[in-house]
Chains A and B, each alone.
Chain A
Amino acid sequence: MAAIEPLKARKRPIARLGVFVISHSLIVSVICCIAAILALLLLPVLAKNTYISENALMPGSANTMLSSEEVSEADRFMKDVNALSLESVDAGIKIAKLIAQYMADLGAEVCYHKFHHQQNQFNPLHFFSIPDPVVVQRNISCLSFGVNTVGVIRAPRGDGKEAIVLVTPYNSSGMDAAEASSLGIGYSIFSLLSQVTWLAKDIIWLAADSRFGVYAPVAAWLKDYHTPLFSGLGQVNAEVCHESNDLLKLNDAMVSNRNISNIFTRSGTMAAALVIKVVDRHDEADKDTLSIFAEASNGQMPNLDLINIVNYLAVHRQGLRVKVEKFFSLLDSKFLNLVGETVELLGKVAKSLNPNWRFGIPVAEYVEGTATLASSLFNQALGVPTGPHGAFRDYQVDAITLEISPKGSLKNKDQRIDFLMRGGRLVEAVVRSVNNLLEKFHQSFFLYLLTSPSKFVSVGIYMIAFALLIAPLPIVAASLYSDANRRDSSLRNEGSSQPHVFADEPTPTLKSWRWLHAAKSVFIIHFWGSLVTLLPHFISKMPNGTPTSSLIIWLSLCTLSLFLLYMISGSPFSHATASQPQEWAVLKSVTVSAAFIGLCLMSVINFATAEIGALLIVPMCLVAYPLKLDLQDWSFRALIRAACNLTLVLISFPPATFYLFKGGIEGFKSVNAGDFWNWLETLWAWNSATYLYIGMVHLPCWVSCVNILLHPC
């Protein structure tokens, strides 16, 4: 031993610190977890006020030019559209033609964009990539097609390298006054912009036919804009879709204007896109309300500057009330109010100590901030875009949806004109500001969470919670592994009185590879996870499946395949012999490392998913302890631990988590058994990485933990 000591003494301070931390892994993990949850709860307090980072934007520096002339013209246009939408026959085509005619009269280049609706399909092998367009073309259905109308204003003195896109979705098969007024806002802007001389970027107005949902037409148009097909398109159309083509031809013949064509009109690289939507909420408020939606697929956000200018112009120029989505059910949560009061109290105490410390915020603000933050986090974690702006983010274009709801009724002409004027001026000012931009949006944040329209938490702050959450994982893994090794060696030392004749040489090597067995079983579970991820694709192909039955089939297939894999590869339990009493510890250590790796990878792809996932997985992984040992022990501590284990395992089972969450948000009465299946289907239909995360990280980790709990030590 004396010979070893100086060797040990030469360890570096960092290594010593590591050893120190590992030896106190229990305290470290408890502290880290508590600190992480505290950090999460404190996020609304740490939120900063937004500021416009790019100087070139200069929002609101010019007076708005939208006059009553354009607005009354837009009102006339709205009337025409409304009159057409009452007609039942071919209203869709007629409205498209009317819009095109109005666009062309403004001197814009107009084209129709016909798209075929197709169900989002799960392509397991093309998860992140776009499926082969030729294959997609084959299974289009002819009857379900929509016609977008696209108008392009060329900037008079610009070089046409960049464009700003305005999108106004309308439902061609059943239009209401709100949708017509969103078209009206679009038209008023467009007619103004066709006359101004200050444009540096082209303006594209996409009147999107949203009879198949608001997302599909925009996505189809963007796909044709960025990856057009040069071959075979006409053939397929001609072969399969005779009627629909004839319809458009007819359309052509009736259009006498030279500016309207069926050939896809293009402009330059898109700088930004605004989706304008009008919603008539019928609630009498003192101000018009503007809701901003920004989350795109996989938790991607547009540049914060875009939200900032919209918020700035809406609040300070047009006097709108700006909102961001939030969980209303959280607003009257007692716990949050309590935390809010504590924060307020702490803030007051701190202020009384030093008047310069101003971190306390009022309870109401805290609770609102938390509700908004939770919604922001949830929407990002879901990975499903919250509107048609999501389609733009897939092509690296910054886009947001502006949902404006009027304070009065849209039927009253004065109020309507007033509303059109305000909405139009807001959009005009935003367009003008983006038009000023020389470079693309890059100056401000891309990774942030909103706590209110004018407050945000940047990545540097919100990742603290995540880092604290996952920090204990490697420490615990290391400590478990070293403990198991040490105990093993001590056991061996005790037992070394009986001479090992031949095992003397191979033991050290075998011993250092003992984690391999545990790794194998964890790997098998993860492999099973990826198999299970692919299963829903085949289940969805089965005819006449209700969500509930599909869910049951899926769950039973999962269990079956798990047992099958166990039988093929040999159950991990079979190896747990008495010679390796610390088997479960090594297993847990490998499980914990796998969870760590999975979470780290996910945090790169979608941070919010990783954060919420970590909140569920990390406690479960840390607490996991074989139930058998606990029951043998039969002490208070052991029982508590067993109870904790069982609850955590129950809560973190994905369907259970989903039902709990949904019940918590919407009330338990509305929860159906098939909802989970539907939810999974939406996730994969939107190519959300959260689906992959659930299948390949969360579920395997959960199964591994159950494996540890049931370990026959």
Chain B
Amino acid sequence: MLLPRQTRLVLFLLSNLFFIPITFSLVEEQEQFTEELLLKPLPDRKVLSHFHFQSRAPPTASYGHHHRLFPKAIYQLVHKYRIREMELSFTQGRWNYERWGGFDPISSNNAKPPGVELWAVFDVPEHQVDAYWKNLTHTLSGLFCASINFLESSTTYAAPEWGFQPFTGSLRYGTLPREAVCTENLTPWLKLLPCRDKAGLSALLDRPSIYKGFYHSQQLHLISAEFKSGELDSGIILEQTLTVVLQPGAKRTGLAYFQPSWSMSSIFGRQITGKCVLAKSSNVFLQIDRDAVSELKDMWKEMSVNSDKMSKSLWSNPYFELSRAPDRIKEASSINSDSASILYEFFIQKCSKSESFDLGLTWKSSFVWSCPKAPLHATRFLMGSGNERGSIAISLRTTELNRRLMDADISEETCKLRVDIFQMVPWYVKVYYHTLLVFVDEKPQALTDVIERMHVSPSEDKVSPGLMELALKLPCGLNSAALTVEFSKGFLHIDEYPPDANQGFDIPSAVISFPRFNTRLHFPKDDSERSPVLSYTEVLLVPLTTPDFSMPYNVITITCTVFALYFGSLLNVLRRRVGEEERILKEKAANKKTGWISILLSKLFAKLRGRPSESPKSPASSSSLVSLKLLLKVVLVASVAVGWQIEFLELCGFERIDGEKFLDLPIEKVDMAALVSAGSEL
């Protein structure tokens, strides 16, 4: 701030000049960047923080190819692969639908299966979609430092018809459940933001604290209207979200349900020092759940009976207190409930640069509530044991919300709850779709009664995964429902096994959606963007038979042995002349009158060849006697050899030294001449 006055003036003028054209063409043709952060205390003493960055590029037709804010990489990606919509998510940990809710937009849109999930809709003719998908996976893999390129293989992705998203034909969906997520994926993601993580809300992203959390999901959602024909052209919208569930306060307190107080600096270890100057708006929201609000209001009523001088301020009351006053308070109305969740809004613009923004929440009394849950809670698990077959079971259980909703509708006989299930299964888990069984309230049901619509594409070995899309219509008052389908486990070729094959193989999460229920996005604005309630099930681990990977070595050894034996005997048979040999043997036997050793040898030889000895001297010597002798001799020779191994060496001049551990030959006893001659012989 030691600039001379003139310079400051010039700067001011420059910036004014610079900004004027943009402000003039504000209405339609402008790149926009907004950033938001939503904080929400969760019932199990954790805090959800949800970063939401949105970049908007105007349509190319009117704006041209050059952008100031919008990331070039994404723009090129959209144009090269003609993407209509795409979503890529990197997730670590599991979203706890029971405790963190399943009926709000965050859980429907931002609760993702562990690992990488990618889906994309292309604006190309149907026969080209696969080619575009493959190229896209490679590009994204390079862009985000992840092994997304493994989604290129046709065994890893599927083309859902209607069960996942309503784009027939041009939608491709693939997941990599085992992909590890870390900062190497976050850094390229941050690079797409105009301020990186240097300023604005993203400055909060301290790597150690966000990766220490219980859930971490980083997403990139892309909607482009560039190639839509005949519709209103709205350009490209890039939404980047990061959802983190963190635990404030490391140590457990004595009271299990006393909510911990927290502030931004305590959970992130950083503070906001100002907005990203390039952002159009930069807001922080704090949300208190509907259940919590109704609970609070109940308590308020009780309290107000006792004392009227209660300060009924929504942000500073006897139960909790915010560290700074919100700029705006919104009560989002809910579908059918008297209470609504409260949203406190803070504008970062207003905070000065010297004073950093640090929002804190202090709980003053203990407090229990629960998050809104999806109508049915879904779990998926494997049944059976062994390496041959098993079955996948999806179990749906009703939650309080459904009970509450259905109480109203229970009078109607025809009330039906629609549930869509989308399930992709790799080919080596061979699902028998005809074994599909549905149980409602523990009673088996005829499939035609329950299933409204069904689409199955069976897997093809080493080509494509199996795909099952089901639309169930279940009675509203149900307590539980279950689906089972059997499978048998396939065998892989040895080079198809991934590293660490003995861990087992993953079946990607199934997607359960409730199309009749919608959740509304409360922010950034009050736009009524609705999305269906969606939940993902667990990833399953199927142990398959794995070979002993040292097996090739064993196989090579044994085949070589067999070959050697075969060729050896074959050659032997080929080059042998039996008649001639016998003649020679006979001659020898007749002519030679040699010592007892040779007689014995010939006897032994003859015995081994299975013929009676032709020696005239051996009439009927008991064969067992001979072999006994032979055996004794062999044993004798062997034992003599073993026993004399050392004695012989000692005889040769070696001496025992060093505590009788080694035999040593004194140098003077070495006959150099003999050694040299032996060496030359060799």
Contacts and interface: CB of A to CB of B under 8 A. Distances in A.
Interface in B503-527: 503-504, 506
Contacts of B213: 156-157
Contacts of B643: 353
Nearest to B658: A355
A154 interface: yes
Interface in A1-44: 5-6, 8-13, 15-17, 19-20, 23-24, 27
Given A10-B578, A160-B538, A228 B383 contact: yes
A178 B660 CA distance: 55
B384 A227 contact: yes
Interface stretch (A229-237, A369-377, A425-433, A510-518): A229-237
Given A396-B385, A440-B504, A157 B214 contact: yes
B265 interface: no
B178 to A, nearest CB: 8
B502 A439 contact: yes
Interface stretch (A263-271, A310-318, A557-565): A263-271
A16 B608 contact: yes
A541 interface: no
Interface in A89-133: 105, 107, 109
Interface string A428-447: 00000000001110100000
B444 A156 contact: no
Interface in B381-403: 381-387, 393, 395, 397
B609 to A, nearest CB: 6
A159 interface: yes
Contacts of A11: 610
B301 interface: no
Given A5-B611, A107-B44, A157-B93, A438 B503 contact: yes
B541 interface: yes
Contacts, number: 128
B441 to A, nearest CB: 8
B610 A232 contact: no
A586 B417 CA distance: 76
Contacts of A13: 608-609
A226 interface: yes
A9 B611 contact: yes
Given A227-B384, A269-B541, A9 B578 contact: yes
A440 B387 CA distance: 14
B442 A269 contact: no
A396 B539 contact: no
A161 B541 contact: yes
A19 B623 CA distance: 12
Nearest to A438: B500
Given A24-B624, A159-B115, A231-B439, A269 B543 contact: yes
A226 B541 contact: no
A394 B386 CA distance: 9
A258 interface: yes
A353 B177 CA distance: 62
B543 A228 contact: no
B611 A8 contact: yes
B92 A157 contact: yes
Contacts of B114: 159-160
A162 interface: yes
Q: Is the interface of B mostly helix, strand, loop or mixed?
A: mixed
A263 B661 CA distance: 70
A158 interface: yes
A349 B540 CA distance: 60
A635 to B, nearest CB: 19
B541 A442 contact: no
Contacts of B559: none
A194 to B, nearest CB: 8
Contacts of A19: 610
B624 A27 contact: yes
Contacts of B383: 226-228
B212 interface: yes
A415 to B, nearest CB: 27
Interface in B534-588: 538-541, 543, 546, 569, 578, 582
B484 interface: yes
Contacts of A109: 98
A440 B442 contact: no
Given A353-B646, A354-B646, A16 B92 contact: no
B1 interface: no
Given A226-B383, A226-B384, A396-B386, A159 B442 contact: no
Given A156-B93, A266-B381, A197 B540 contact: no
A16 B504 CA distance: 50
A268 B442 contact: no
B80 interface: no
B503 A9 contact: no
Contacts of A232: 442-443
Contact of B500 (A23, A228, A439): A439
A668 interface: no
A160 B539 contact: yes
B96 interface: yes
Query: Which range contains the number of B residues in contact with the other chain?
Result: 35 or more
B207 to A, nearest CB: 14
B385 A395 contact: yes
Nearest to A222: B385
A195 interface: yes
A159 B539 contact: yes
A154 B94 contact: yes
B256 A105 contact: yes
Interface in B147-198: 177
Nearest to B114: A159
Contacts of A354: 645-646
Nearest to B113: A159
Nearest to B642: A353
Interface in B348-386: 368, 370, 379, 381-386
Contacts of B472: none
Contacts of B393: 228, 230
Contacts of B623: 23-24
B503 A440 contact: yes
Given A268-B538, A440-B503, A159 B177 contact: yes
A440 B505 CA distance: 12
Contacts of A27: 624, 627-628
A191 to B, nearest CB: 9
B578 A440 contact: no
Given A230-B482, A258-B370, A353-B643, A159 B94 contact: yes
A11 B443 CA distance: 71
Nearest to A156: B214
Contacts of B252: 195
Interface in B449-474: none
Interface in B602-629: 607-611, 623-624, 627-628
Nearest to B92: A157
A271 B611 CA distance: 62
Residue in A157, A160, A226, A439 whose Cβ sees the most chain B Cβ within 10 Å: A157
A156 B212 CA distance: 9
A269 B94 contact: no
Nearest to A396: B385
B540 A161 contact: yes
Nearest to B98: A109
Contacts of B484: 230
Interface in A199-250: 226-228, 230-235
Given A230-B437, A258-B368, A394-B385, 7 more contacts: A5-B611, A10-B578, A27-B627, A161-B504, A161-B506, A355-B661, A439-B502
30 contacts: A5-B611, A23-B623, A27-B624, A105-B256, A107-B256, A109-B98, A154-B94, A154-B96, A156-B213, A157-B92, A157-B216, A159-B94, A161-B506, A162-B541, A195-B252, A226-B385, A227-B383, A228-B393, A231-B439, A231-B442, A231-B443, A266-B379, A268-B538, A269-B382, A353-B646, A354-B645, A396-B386, A396-B543, A440-B504, A442-B546
- What 8 A-B pairs are tightest by C-beta distance, nearest first? A439-B502, A161-B541, A159-B114, A16-B610, A230-B439, A395-B385, A439-B503, A230-B482
